[in-house]
Amino acid sequence: MWPCGGRRQRRLGGVALLLVVLWLLLRRYYPCLLPAVSEPCENAVLLRFNWSELNPLGLWGRTHGLQTENSEFLLEGMPFRILGGSMHYFRVPREYWEDRMLKMRACGLNTLTTYVPWNLHEKERGKFDFSKNLDLRAFLSLAAKNGLWVILRPGPYICSEWDLGGLPSWLLQDPEMKLRTTYKGFTEAVDAYFDRLMRVVVPFQYKKGGPIIAVQVENEYGSYNKDPNYMNYIKMALLNRGIVEMLMTSDNKNGLSFGLVEGALATVNFQKLEPGLLKYLDTVQKDQPKMVMEYWTGWFDNWGGPHYVFDADEMVNTVESILKTGASINLYMFHGGTNFGFMSGALEADEYKSDVTSYDYDAVLTEAGDYTSKFFKLRQLFSMVIGQPLPLPPMIESKASYGAILLHQYISLWDVLPALVQPIKSEIPVNMENLHLNDSIGQPYGYVLYETVIFGGGHLHSRDHVRDRAQVFVNTVYVGELDYNSVELSIPEGQQGFRQLRLLVENRGRVNYGLGLNEQRKGLIGDIFLNKTPLRNFKIYSLEMKPAFMKSLQHVSGWSSVPDYFVGPAFFRGRLWIEQQPQDTFLKLQGWEKGVVFVNGQNLGRYWKIGPQETLYLPGPWLRRGGNEIVIFEERTAGRIIQSVDIPYLGRTQYVD
C-alpha cells in the first residue's frame, strides 16, 4: 500500500499536468485569453485555428461557428476578423490549388472565398459533374488542410465575368424564362441543382468539422432586384438543404439596401473607400460587424480595350484604412486565373463588350500564380496587423520559353463539315440554345454555321439579329461581317444559278451583369433579310468544338501542308516537343487574327489581334514530355508559327480611375 504522501504527490502531479495541458490548449486555440499575447490581440483580433495542426480534441465542442456580437465577429466564442482572398477553383488548374492556398497563408490571410459555377457543374440538365478540376470536395479539403476557412458563394448567379453569370444557357430554351426570380421554370431548375450541390457542401460546414464558416445568399441581387420574394426563396433553399452556418449577402453601395434578406449579414463591395461608405452599412443593419466582401484589387479587361491596372500603393493604403475601422475584408481577387475555353462573360452598358481570356485582374498573384508587388506590400501590412510571424512564401514555379512552333498542316472548315458535323435542317434560323443537340439542351458555346441558298445578290440586313458576330460568305468567298454595329452588307451579284450564303456566327460570351440576362440567346435570334425578304430553309452546323469533336478532327482526311498565304476559316496543327519536365509557358500568336487554341485537347481560350491580351497562358500540367499537339481554329488570317515565351504580355496598360 502506498503511503498517503505518495497519493497526494501523484494527485498534485496529475493536477499540474492537467493545468499544463489546458495552458497549452489555451495558448494554441484561445491566445487572446492569455496575458502573454494580449498585446497583439488588442492590436487586431485576427487569430484563427490552424487547420494543419488540428487534432480530434481540437475538433470537439465546435458548436457556435461564426457569430456576431457587439459589432464584431466571434468564432467559437472568440473575437475573430476575416482576412480573406478570392480564388476560383474552376479558373486554376487543380495541380496548382494548394500552391495558391499556401501563398494566401504566406500573405497573412485566414479565409478563402470562392464562387461555384452552375454552368460547369450542370452543363446538361440533370447531369452533374464534380470531378477533376470541378472537384469541389477536394478543393474544400485542401483549404482545410492548409489552414484556411472558407466563405462559399454558391449563387446560383455568381457574376464574376463568367458566361451568363454562371447560369447554364439551357435555361434560355424557355422563351418566357425570367432568370433570378421566383418564376417556376427557374426555381425548379435551382431546386434540382441545389439538391445535388448541397450534398457536397453540407458536410464541409464548420459545425460538422469542415472549413466553411459562412455561405453567401445569391450575389449582388440589389443591382438586379426584379422580384421581392426571390432572396427569401434562395435563403430558404439553402436552409432547407442543411446549411447551418452564417448567411451573408453582397452588394455595392447602390444595391445594398435592395439586396437584403432577413437573417443574413449584409456586406459591401467597392474599390475606392468613399467617406462614410462603411458607416452606410449601419443604416441598413445596426450593431453588426462590417465586412467588405469584395475589395477589388484590380479590374478585368475587354477585347479592344486596355489592360487595366490598379496602383499597388493606393490599393494597400485603402486596405489599411479599411482595417483601421475594424472591418473584415476579402480581396477580390487574390488570384484571378484564366477564363479557359469559351467561358468568359461580357458587359452590355452603352455597347456590348466581351471579356478577354485572361482573368489576371491585376490581382495579388498573377494569372500564372506569381507574386506581385501587391503581395509583398500586403504581406508586410498583415504581418504588422496580426503581430505574429507569417509562413515563408513558397518558391515560384519557373516558366519556360520553348521557342517557335511551326503549324505545318491545315484543313479548311468547309472540308471538315461534311466529315464531322451532321447539319440540322430548319425553315427558319434557330438560336444556339434551342438547337436539338446534346440531349436537347442546345449548344451553349462556340460557333454555329447557318447555310442557305440564294439566287443573285443584293442588300443583306440582319435587323440586329446576330449574336454576337457573323462572318458572311458566298460559297467559300468572304464578303464581310455582321455584328452589333454592322447590320447590313452588300452581296455581290454572281453568275446565274444558286449560290450558298453562309453565316459563321460566334458566341463571344454572354453578358454576366446587368438587367439584360434574359436576352442572352446566341447565334441568329431572328430573321435575316436579303432584299427585304427573310431567308429560309437553313442547314445549321454546330461547332461547339467539344473534346470529342477535337479528337475526331485528328483523324479526318484532308490535312495539307500550309501554303505561304491562306485565309480561313480553317484548323491548323503543329507539335511542341518537350525534353524535360514541362513548365508553364505563354503562347504568343503574332501574325494570327482571331480564333481559339487547343493544346492536347484542352481549350486555352480565345485570342484576337485587337488586344489587349497578346499571350495565352498554357499551364505546365497540361503539357507532357515528348510531343504535344497544338490545334488552332483561325477565323481569317493565319500565321505560320506561334511563339512559346516565358513572360506574359497582357497589353497596353491603363490605370483604373
Please give the full DSSP string across 466-523, using - where no structure is assigned: EESEEEEEETTEEEEEEESS--EEEEPP-SSSEEEEEEEEE----B-SSS-GGG---E
Mean pLDDT on 230-257: 97
- For residue 595, give the 3-state DSSP assignment: strand
Query: In the prediction, which pLDDT does 50 show?
Result: 38
Q: Answer whether residue 121 shows pLDDT above 50.
A: yes
Residue 241 CA to residue 498 CA, distance in Å, equals: 60
Mean pLDDT on 49-70: 60
Region of residue 439 (left: phi > 0; alpha: psi -120 to 50; beta: else)? left
Residue of 28 and 539 predicted with greater confidence: 539
Q: Are 528 and 462 in contact (CB under 8 A)?
A: yes
Residue 219 CA to residue 249 CA, distance in Å, equals: 7
Q: In this structure, what C-alpha cell is assigned to residue 461?
A: 440586313
Query: In the prediction, which pLDDT does 557 show?
Result: 93
Summarised one tens digit per residue, pLDDT across range 428-470 is 999 999 999 988 899 999 999 999 999 999 999 999 999 999 9
Q: How confident is the model at residue 321 (pLDDT cuts 50, 70, 90)?
A: very high
Residue carrying C-alpha cell 501590412: 381
Q: How confident is the model at residue 627 (pLDDT cuts 50, 70, 90)?
A: very high
Q: How confident is the model at residue 565 (pLDDT cuts 50, 70, 90)?
A: confident
Mean pLDDT on 346-366: 96
Mean pLDDT on 550-561: 95
CA 169 vs. chain centroid, Å, equals 16
Residue 232 CA to residue 236 CA, distance in Å, equals: 6
Amino acid, single-letter form, for residue 457? G
Query: In the prediction, which pLDDT does 350 show?
Result: 87
Query: In the prediction, which pLDDT does 470 show?
Result: 98
Q: Are 540 and 451 in contact (CB under 8 A)?
A: yes
- Pick from 44-53, 312-321, 431-440: least confident: 44-53
On the 0-12 / 13-18 / 19+ scale of CB atoms within 10 A, 208 is middle
Q: Answer whether residue 8 shows pLDDT above 70.
A: no
| pLDDT above 90 coverage of the chain, percent | 85
Q: Which residues contact 555 (CB under 8 A, 6 or more apart)?
A: none
Region of residue 73 (left: phi > 0; alpha: psi -120 to 50; beta: else)? beta
Summarised one tens digit per residue, pLDDT across range 124-151 is 999 999 999 999 999 999 999 999 999 9
Summarised one tens digit per residue, pLDDT across range 592-622 is 999 999 999 999 999 999 999 999 999 999 9
Residue 325 CA to residue 376 CA, distance in Å, equals: 22
Query: In the prediction, which pLDDT does 14 show?
Result: 53
629 catalytic residue (yes or no): no
Q: Answer whether residue 625 shows pLDDT above 50.
A: yes
Q: In this structure, what C-alpha cell is assigned to residue 172?
A: 434560355
- For residue 277, give the 3-state DSSP assignment: helix
Options 218, 220, 348, 614, the catalytic residue: 220
Is the previous residue joined to 156 through a cis bond, with omega within 30 degrees of 0? yes
Residue 91 CA to residue 368 CA, distance in Å, equals: 11
Q: How confident is the model at residue 60 (pLDDT cuts 50, 70, 90)?
A: low
Q: Answer whether residue 27 shows pLDDT above 50.
A: no
Is the previous residue joined to 333 through a cis bond, with omega within 30 degrees of 0? yes
- Pick from 315-319, 346-350, 476-480, 632-636: least confident: 346-350
Q: Answer whether residue 9 shows pLDDT above 90.
A: no
Q: How confident is the model at residue 58 (pLDDT cuts 50, 70, 90)?
A: very low
Q: Which residues contact 42 (CB under 8 A, 6 or more apart)?
A: none
Torsion angle, alpha carbons of 520, 525, 526, 527, to 10 = 140
Q: Which residues contact 186 (CB under 8 A, 6 or more apart)?
A: 171, 177, 178, 179, 180
Mean pLDDT on 22-49: 37
Summarised one tens digit per residue, pLDDT across range 248-287 is 999 999 999 999 999 999 999 999 999 889 989 999 999 9
Query: In the prediction, which pLDDT does 26 show?
Result: 44
Give 263's DSSP letter: T
Query: In the prediction, which pLDDT does 61 show?
Result: 64
Options 294, 348, 367, 614, the catalytic residue: 294
Mean pLDDT on 556-565: 92
Q: Answer whether residue 103 shows pLDDT above 80.
A: yes
Q: Answer whether residue 539 shows pLDDT above 60.
A: yes
Mean pLDDT on 487-515: 93
Mean pLDDT on 14-40: 40
- Pick from 9-13, 35-39, 48-52, 268-272: least confident: 35-39
493 catalytic residue (yes or no): no
Q: Are 336 and 114 in contact (CB under 8 A)?
A: no
Q: Which residues contact 585 (CB under 8 A, 6 or more apart)?
A: 399, 400, 401, 402, 618, 620, 623, 644, 645, 646
Mean pLDDT on 639-657: 96
Give 545's DSSP letter: -
For the question of whether the overall pTM of this predicted structure is more than 0.85, the answer is yes
Using CA atoms, how far residue 510 sits from 167, 174, 183, 370, 571, in Å, is: 10, 17, 21, 30, 25
Residue of 246 and 397 predicted with greater confidence: 246
